[in-house]
Structure 1
Amino acid sequence: MNDEPAPESDSDVVEILPPKPGLSEDIIAIIAGAVLLVLCFGLTLGYGTETVEGETVTGIVNPLKSWVSKPGGWIGNPVESFIGTAEKPKPVWQGVLGAVAILGVFMALLAPLMRPKANPFTFLGGYLILVALATLAYVLAGQATIKSYNLEYALWALAVGLIIGNTIGKDTFGSMGEAAMRTELYIKTGLVLLGAEVLFSKLLELGPAGVMIAWVTTPIVLISTFWFGQKVLKMKSASLNMTISADMSVCGVSAAIATAAACKAKKEELSVAIGLSLCFTAGMMVVLPLLIRELGLDASVGGAWIGGTIDATGAVAVAGGILGDHALKVATTVKMIQNILIGVIAFGVASYWTTRADSQDGEKPKVGISEIWKRFPKFVLGFIAASIVASLIYGSSEDGGMLVSATTAVTKGLRGWLFCLAFVCIGIDLNFRQLSSQFHGGKPLILYICGQTLNLILTLGMAYLAFSLFPASESAL
């Protein structure tokens, strides 16, 4: 039996498919991401004051900061996620409404240019339905007990979407749902915004040690895991294999999304990769710091081990923080250096899939640079451009660093909403039969476990080697 069902239609593929009237989602994503970044950078220019825990702090402040937020934590009453608890009042409802309004207006204005084109008001109707489901996912993830188990919003967004998709079905929403169900657009716009958070200047902080740990180990693990899945496990779906391999070896959800687009993975395959990533991330962020302490590892080595192996950047920060400030800085820097590979790997995968994986056995590929460019996920160029520009601003002066930090504090919130909307859409698009069939024989789980084991071993060895060869890097942070 196959590891996965055959795609029911072209819409199952995580890629922009043949030409229709309107601009591709890659181009729309670049436009939306660029406009949002320019707007946020522009509004951040200038000095202001903000109050942090009762103290007034002078610095560069983005006026949108209080208008972009997500539901917070709560204990016994879900309303607390919007207004805070009695002990610690922290109203965020204004920020929730602000984020929803900003994204809604931008996307609605672009709706007539999308492929397929949509009426702005029809789009807004479907968008508000998705926002209600995304808000529910955020609220569920913020409950104190649930939060203690590190069950992130992405998992709840997928679950909420799956419930809707497998009960009332997406057709219930009619034309509004069809207009707003733009999974790839939300994902790709979010990744363009992510580019401003991934700074090339971070390379300089750990120097060659950081590059060795993040850029040498990662490609080895990715290629080895993909080979293992194809040759040893003999997985029927090469795209599922590649998506899981990239998810596990690079940086989790973001890498899985970019790679899925590059290798034409089906949406249920992307969901499998994301589900595995979230489950293992939740466990590793708790277990790995405890193991590092038990082994008595140096803070730099331990931090690098965490940064190179735990998938999500947020989870890396939490796990590194358990070991102390120095380990936190090393861990997050290694992860940021690793994140830079997202664009490189997406390009490599797109090139491989075009010239090798899509060709018939024994048939010489008949494609060249023009076909690679046609199939290449162009939103990655927006990601890279945002990263370069943000790095140049960051390194220009001390104020440049504050400008980037204040700006990304806002764009990170918008990115979170975009990803949450995308996960809801993915869940609605799937059904349990398709999703469960992906785990037939347990091969995806075996692939992830074996790949992550190799990742843990190689990253720890490389961390020891890197800091031995470049001892000055340990004090760079």
Structure 2
Amino acid sequence: MPDTAPTPEPEESDIVKAALRRSTWAEMKTAEDWWAVWIGGGLLLICFLAMYFSLPADFSDQVTTAKAAGEKVSVHSPLKAWLAKPGSWSDNPLDSIFPPEKNNLLIPLGVVFLISLCAFSIGVKAMQQSVAKFAVGFLGVFLLAALAYILTGQVVVKRYNLEYALWALMIGLVISNTIGTPNWMKPALKTELYIKTGLVVMGASVLFSRLLILGLPGIYVAWVVTPIVLISTYAFGQKILKMESRSLNMVISADMSVCGVSAAIATAASCKAKKEELSFAIGLSLSFTVIMMIVLPAVIKALGIGPILGGAWMGGTIDSTGAVAASGAILGPEAEQVAITIKMIQNILIGVTAFGVAVFWVSFIETKESNIKPDAWEIWYRFPKFVLGFITASAIFSLLYVYLQGGDVVVPAMVKESSKVFRGWFFCLAFISIGLETNFRELAKFLKGGKPLILYVCGQSLNLLLTLLMAWLMFSVFYKDVVNEVFNK
């Protein structure tokens, strides 16, 4: 007789199930990824039309004259005065909203709040959730995001480049791990929706020509390193750590190696993980995301690594897409664009990973008939659709930049003075949400024996080393000249 009883099979209700497949048309009306595309695309359309119809009647003549003189026409978005974030201050934080000798920012901040609330409420309604509860919670989340911006605007803080993402995370974490996240605020913690919408909006600022060029070396960084790390981490957990739960091992491995929450959810359904295992993996990922998005930019600066290589390194290792954008922004626009490109390419592997894990689980792990029937459509079903929004926005505004009369001044002005404001707010809302959703106490029960933590740390260490090596080869050796040409170096 064995010394211990066999581990009981989990109850059916405790297992993360793959969502019932719906038609693409049905998903386009109700899925979060698609609503990130619709909301982000709608805001970009509004920003562009406002810019376009405000151009003077003789704008074409002005552009022609300016080009002949080797100059550029100066244009501004009419939305600039209506959209804002809290500004700088030295001694009195109220100066960030009521700046001396300037118009106060209450109305522009209110406009951003109302537009954001209306846009996301439409998506929430389409996803069949309570708009009233979301609206109440959104007010609280928005006020916390405003507080993060206010703290960021302090002149000493700005000097040390402590970005809004750090403050947003800290505010959320302090609340979550002390008094606890208020229940009335929880319906508005739409981390993924905020991040994905912000990334779609960001697409307008990434020229498609750059995206294509950066994507070539990025494929090597994302598609070569990621599978190696995933397989190695899972094997390490089974062969070396002897983890009892294969499903927890797999979810942590996918979460850490691919792209965090989305990969964890997709993989958990494929390997029939328990819901509490999924929750733990996500919590572990978010905890390390908080650490890495703060520490990694500092390490890159300390080591003297350039922004392009640094951005590629962060894009392949930091789990959350929004955290990648924020960390890249700390190092500058070049690092931000490279990091986001790498992460977008890596996000495509969500569907491939879910499909591969499902095939592996059915074929080699489960000894009885499984209700998971993987097929090639699984890749499309799991594909992060918001990536299509990002690419489409990049392509459209790249065409406008090149072919629209004066597009090289119209598009940058639109981005800088309108769409970039929304993007910043959406990312800030996301990091407030991440902080409010991360409770370190709830992770303690899974850390008995330390195996999951050891698995994550060892896997992420391998990920950091391999990604840095591959990023160096691609961005500093094989494609160095091409990448430098993109950034005019």
Scaled by the length of structure 1, what TM-score is found?
A: 0.73
Alignment match, 2:349: 345
> After alignment, is 96-105 or 354-363 more displaced?
354-363
CA contact (8 A) 1:166 1:431 kept: yes
Opposite residue 189 of structure 2, the aligned amino acid is M
Q: 1:108 is matched with which residue: 121, 143, 149? A: 121
The CA distance in 1 between the partners of 2:199 and 2:149, in whole Å, is 20
Q: Deviations over 1:215-248 (max 9, x none)?
A: 22332222233233222355744333333334xx
Alignment match, 2:275: none
The CA distance in 2 between the partners of 1:446 and 1:153, in whole Å, is 30
Change (3 A) 1:92 1:344: same
Change (3 A) 1:45 1:347: farther
Q: 1:65 is matched with which residue: 50, 63, 80? A: 80
Residue 427 (1) aligns with residue 435 (2): yes
Deviation at 1:214, TM superposition (A): 2.5
The CA distance in 1 between the partners of 2:190 and 2:134, in whole Å, is 10
CA contact (8 A) 1:157 1:420 kept: yes
Deviation at 1:166, TM superposition (A): 4.0
Alignment match, 1:228: 232
CA contact (8 A) 2:161 2:330 kept: no
Alignment match, 1:390: 397
Alignment match, 2:176: 165
Residue 455 (1) aligns with residue 463 (2): no
Change (3 A) 1:332 1:421: closer
RMSD after superposition: 4.2
> After alignment, is 437-446 or 70-79 more displaced?
437-446
Q: How does 1:64-463 map to 2 (within 5 A)?
A: 64-83=79-98, 92-119=105-132, 122-148=133-159, 150-170=161-181, 172-173=183-184, 177=185, 179-203=187-211, 207=213, 210-211=214-215, 213-232=217-236, 236-246=248-258, 256=260, 259-260=263-264, 262-263=266-267, 266=279, 267-289=282-304, 302=306, 304-311=308-315, 312-313=324-325, 315-316=327-328, 319=331, 334-335=338-339, 337-356=341-360, 361-362=365-366, 366-397=373-404, 399-409=406-416, 410-435=418-443, 440=450, 441-463=453-475
CA contact (8 A) 1:217 1:458 kept: yes
CA contact (8 A) 1:202 1:337 kept: no
Opposite residue 394 of structure 1, the aligned amino acid is Y
Change (3 A) 1:89 1:403: same
Opposite residue 114 of structure 1, the aligned amino acid is M
Opposite residue 113 of structure 1, the aligned amino acid is A
Change (3 A) 1:413 1:237: farther
Opposite residue 402 of structure 1, the aligned amino acid is V
Opposite residue 226 of structure 2, the aligned amino acid is L
The CA distance in 2 between the partners of 1:391 and 1:244, in whole Å, is 33
CA contact (8 A) 1:28 1:110 kept: yes
Change (3 A) 1:412 1:160: same
CA contact (8 A) 2:201 2:419 kept: yes
Deviation at 1:470, TM superposition (A): 6.5
The CA distance in 2 between the partners of 1:166 and 1:408, in whole Å, is 37
Secondary structure class of the residue paired with 2:92: coil
Q: Deviations over 1:143-183 (max 9, x none)?
A: 4444455543333323323333344444542xxx3543333
The CA distance in 2 between the partners of 1:12 and 1:128, in whole Å, is 34
The CA distance in 2 between the partners of 1:385 and 1:153, in whole Å, is 28
Residue 465 (1) aligns with residue 473 (2): no
Q: Which stretches in structure 1 are left out of the alignment for 5+ residues?
A: 1-6, 50-56, 247-254, 293-301, 321-327
The CA distance in 2 between the partners of 1:421 and 1:197, in whole Å, is 20
The CA distance in 2 between the partners of 1:15 and 1:399, in whole Å, is 49
Change (3 A) 1:444 1:144: farther
Opposite residue 221 of structure 2, the aligned amino acid is T
CA contact (8 A) 1:24 1:115 kept: no
CA contact (8 A) 1:46 1:60 kept: no
CA contact (8 A) 1:14 1:261 kept: no
Percent of pairs with identical residues: 30
Deviation at 1:318, TM superposition (A): 5.4
Q: Deviations over 1:87-123 (max 9, x none)?
A: x97965544333222101222344433322434xx43
Max Rg structure = 2
Deviation at 1:361, TM superposition (A): 0.6
Alignment match, 1:42: 49
Opposite residue 396 of structure 1, the aligned amino acid is Y
The CA distance in 2 between the partners of 1:278 and 1:8, in whole Å, is 37
The CA distance in 2 between the partners of 1:82 and 1:430, in whole Å, is 30
CA contact (8 A) 1:285 1:316 kept: no
Q: Which stretches in structure 2 are left out of the alignment for 5+ residues?
A: 1-9, 57-71, 269-277, 316-323
Secondary structure class of the residue paired with 1:69: coil
Q: Deviations over 1:314-343 (max 9, x none)?
A: 6546546xxxxxxx76x5664464355155
CA contact (8 A) 1:160 1:427 kept: yes
Deviation at 1:45, TM superposition (A): 1.1
Q: Deviations over 1:246-294 (max 9, x none)?
A: 4xxxxxxxx54654554456441441242133133331342133xx5xx
Opposite residue 348 of structure 2, the aligned amino acid is V
